[in-house]
């Protein structure tokens, strides 16, 4: 289990650069899809990031947790918003999602997301 989410994003970005170089058309298409999905329309970009990380929790995707937690922390996602997203993720995914929810919270906090108050 990876706990250094900032380092994970650096490592993954390095490998993604290699992939982008070797299969540029696929990566260009993926980038266009990501950009189109992130536009501000009926849902805000922050709402879309919350959905994305919830799916990352359900899929148990460490890279997804890292990148989307980083984005949410930068967008000013509150701890209350993050915890409510985890609540829905756990409800929909059961015990395995509960374990990944704890990892998602570690990722969010590692990028400067709001920590619990005692």
Q: Is pLDDT of 110 > 90?
A: yes
In this predicted structure, the answer to whether residue 2 has a pLDDT above a threshold of 60 is no
Other Cβ atoms within 10 Å of 48 Cβ, number: 18
Q: pLDDT per residue over 28-81, tens digit each?
A: 999 999 999 999 999 999 999 999 999 999 999 999 999 999 999 999 999 999
Model confidence at 118, pLDDT cuts 50, 70, 90, reads: confident
pLDDT of residue 69: 97
Average of pLDDT values for 106-112?
95
Residue, of 77 and 1, whose pLDDT is higher = 77
Q: What is the pLDDT of residue 22?
A: 96
What structural domains and CATH numbers belong to the chain? 5-110 (1.20.1290.10)
Tokens coding 6:
């900032």
Q: Please check the confidence at residue 96 and state whether its pLDDT lies above 70.
A: yes
pLDDT the model gives residue 87:
95
How many other CB atoms are found less than 10 A from the CB of residue 3? Answer: 11
Distances (CA, A) of 40 to 28, 35, 46, 47, 101: 21, 10, 9, 10, 26
């Amino acid at each position: 289990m990876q706990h250094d989410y900032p380092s994970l994003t650096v490592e993954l970005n390095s490998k993604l650069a290699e992939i982008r170089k070797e299969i540029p058309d696929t990566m260009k298409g993926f980038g266009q899809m990501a950009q189109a999905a992130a536009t501000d329309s009926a849902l805000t970009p922050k709402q879309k990031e919350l959905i994305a990380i919830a799916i990352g929790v359900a899929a148990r995707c460490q890279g997804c947790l890292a990148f989307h937690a980083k984005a949410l922390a930068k967008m000013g996602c509150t701890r209350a918003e993050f915890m409510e997203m985890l609540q829905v993720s756990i409800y929909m995914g059961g015990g395995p999602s509960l374990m990944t929810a704890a990892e998602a919270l570690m990722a969010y906090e590692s990028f400067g997301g709001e920590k619990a108050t005692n």
